[in-house]
Chains A and B, each alone.
Chain A
Amino acid sequence: MCLSIPSQVIEINKDEMTAIVDTLGVKRKVGIDFIADEVKVGDYVLIHIGYAMNIIDEEYAKESIALYQEIIEKMEEEEKRAMIDESDNCPSGGGG
């Protein structure tokens, strides 16, 4: 029941309390009763049973993505080191 694919707002109709959003290229009309005061065209929102629940905070999303990038790089660096260590300490001494 719960999907968390973000949708982008492309048109707003305040009189009707609806917006047209784009979810992975699929356009649909959703209720904006809960975000009507703040929503702007271009915002990312989460849709649940035909209503936008919130506006996704891009700053926080970027922060998370940057954090993951950092952790991935750290891991890759550690993996590289482990590989180098392993080859340096090769028990057979590299045959020679």
Chain B
Amino acid sequence: MVLKDLYDRFRDPKAIKALSKEIEKEAEKLDKTINIMEVCGGHTHTIMKYGLLQLMPKNINFIHGPGCPVCIMPKERIDHAYILAMREDVILCTLGDMIKVPGSKGSLQDARSKGADVRFVYSPLDVLKIAKENPDKKVIFFAIGFETTTPMTAALLENAIKQNIKNILFHINHVTVPEVMKELIDSRDEHVDSYNNQIDAFLGPSHVSVIAGSKIYEQFPSKYNRPVVVSGFEPVDVMEGVLMMVKQFVEGRCEVEIQYRRSVSKEGNLKAQELIEKYFEKRELFKWRGLGNIPKSAWKLKDEFGEFDAEKIYELPKEEIEDHKLCICGDILRGIAKPTECQVFGTACTPQKPLGSCMVSSEGACAAYYKYGNLL
């Protein structure tokens, strides 16, 4: 196989079109609309970028889910990062779009313009290097992300211990997918009347499942009667995933299926899972921006690694902070509102000047609608 095939073929417009015809044919056999939640922001991005919404029959509806690690970070935790970054003896490192998200004191970018040493790293591996080069500083890794990035943080800690590097600390904000999926179903089932659409099925995340395996979704068909199709990130993957889903409904099946078999197995990457188990344990509760407290939905360092835990070492405020009152990110993350329903979408809130976090990350629903909205 040539490398080119491995990406071109999964973006082939012809295959996208052919699959959309197949979906249409199958969907004609359905007697109701099905609402599919794509849990992961990566899927939201693909769906918007390739205009896949327009290729769906009328009775297939997409609900954008909460799977964007930056979007679900509550302001108080961004404030933690800000406070830590403002310390003279600290270099704060983080990934992705995190540095642009406003907390109550400003964003990490703002902290940087006030003289804080904030570094955007491409990989936790860079943190190791920064720590070695700056032995007189505390290098704090503000760790974010789902199951996908959690093992990398564990690997960083393992390497720091092995190489006896003492000046790396962690602020852990790793969250888990199945718990938030459960919360979304439960909160809907409780308020069935107030929500105009239901989640009938889930398009399971790609990279989360590479690490954690499709086994983490088994409870959804069995306990909640919702099928899950784990799908890849390319547009052809998403289309095939939807086709598999529609077929489940037509044939009256409800199960976990893997479309993304070239990268996902039922078991996932056991080595990565072992590393997570070695260093982390579940928090009783973790607050998700817009969604509130969700039990067992996030990791923290085990007590025995307390010497590496910035949350234990530094005094950090515990109060919760409200979001901007016009921002409806919470409803968007729950899948009960679309970005365009927000009063300030595209006016007071843009990617250049985001009011809420869904506008900051390219995986956020508001940012995806803003960027590709002309395709709607």
Q: Are A62 and B1 also in contact (CB < 8 A) when A2-B206, A4-B206, A71-B15 are?
A: yes
- Cβ of B1: which chain A residues have Cβ within 8 Å of it? 44, 58, 61-62
Complex Cα gap A72–B12 (Å):
10
Contact B148 A64 (CB under 8 A): no
Chain A, interface size: which category?
35 or more
Contact A68 B262 (CB under 8 A): no
B124 to chain A, nearest CB (A): 7
From DSSP, what is the main secondary structure of chain A's interface residues?
Answer: mixed
Complex Cα gap A65–B42 (Å):
22
Total contacts A-B at CB 8 Å: 136
Number of interface residues of B (CB under 8 A): 54
B168 within 8 A of A: no
Q: Which residue of A lies closest to B5 (CB)?
A: A65
Complex Cα gap A44–B12 (Å):
20
- Cβ of A54: which chain B residues have Cβ within 8 Å of it? 210, 263, 269
Residue from A31, A46, A61, A67 within 8 A of B155 (CB atoms): A31
B234 within 8 A of A: yes
Q: Which residue of B lies closest to A61 (CB)?
A: B262
- Cβ of A84: which chain B residues have Cβ within 8 Å of it? none
Q: Are A31 and B18 also in contact (CB < 8 A) when A56-B262, A64-B262 are?
A: no
Q: Which residue of A lies closest to B69 (CB)?
A: A1
B7 within 8 A of A: yes
Complex Cα gap A6–B200 (Å):
32
Contact A44 B18 (CB under 8 A): no
* Most interface-central of B22, B210, B211, B232 (chain A CB within 10 A): B210
Residue from B122, B123, B151, B207 within 8 A of A2 (CB atoms): B207
Contact A51 B269 (CB under 8 A): no
Q: Are A68 and B9 also in contact (CB < 8 A) when A1-B361, A54-B210, A57-B262 are?
A: yes
Complex Cα gap A48–B148 (Å):
8
Q: Which residue of A lies closest to B162 (CB)?
A: A17
Contact B363 A49 (CB under 8 A): no
- Cβ of B125: which chain A residues have Cβ within 8 Å of it? 31, 50-51
- Cβ of B206: which chain A residues have Cβ within 8 Å of it? 2, 4
Contact A64 B42 (CB under 8 A): no
Interface residues in A12-43 by Cβ distance below 8 A to B read: 22, 24, 30-31, 33-37
Interface residues in B143-183 by Cβ distance below 8 A to A read: 145, 148-149, 151-152, 155, 158
Residue from B6, B152, B158, B363 within 8 A of A44 (CB atoms): B6
Complex Cα gap A75–B261 (Å):
24
Interface residues in B215-229 by Cβ distance below 8 A to A read: none
Q: Are A46 and B263 also in contact (CB < 8 A) when A1-B363, A53-B210 are?
A: yes
User: CB-defined interface of A58-86 with B at 8 Å, one 1/0 digit per residue?
Assistant: 10111111011001101100000000000
B357 to chain A, nearest CB (A): 14
Q: Which residue of B lies closest to A4 (CB)?
A: B233
B38 within 8 A of A: no
- Cβ of A37: which chain B residues have Cβ within 8 Å of it? 271
Contact A68 B69 (CB under 8 A): no
* Most interface-central of A60, A64, A72 (chain B CB within 10 A): A64
Q: Which residue of A lies closest to B8 (CB)?
A: A65
* Most interface-central of A5, A44, A63, A65 (chain B CB within 10 A): A65
Q: What are the 4 closest A-B residue pairs judged by CB atoms, nearest first?
A: A50-B123, A2-B42, A75-B18, A68-B15
Besides A1-B363, A31-B123, A68-B236, 6 new A-B residue pairs in contact (Cβ under 8 A), listed by A number: A1-B42, A24-B3, A31-B125, A57-B261, A58-B1, A71-B22
| A-B contacts, 9 listed (Cβ < 8 Å) | A2-B363, A6-B6, A34-B271, A49-B95, A50-B123, A51-B152, A51-B155, A53-B207, A53-B210
**Chain B contacts to A: CB under 8 angstroms:** 1, 3, 5-7, 9-10, 12, 14-15, 17-19, 21-22, 40-42, 69-70, 95-97, 122-126, 145, 148-149, 151-152, 155, 158, 206-207, 210-211, 232-234, 236, 240, 261-263, 269, 271-272, 275, 361-363
**Chain A contacts to B: CB under 8 angstroms:** 1-2, 4-6, 8, 22, 24, 30-31, 33-37, 44, 46, 48-51, 53-54, 56-58, 60-65, 67-68, 71-72, 74-75
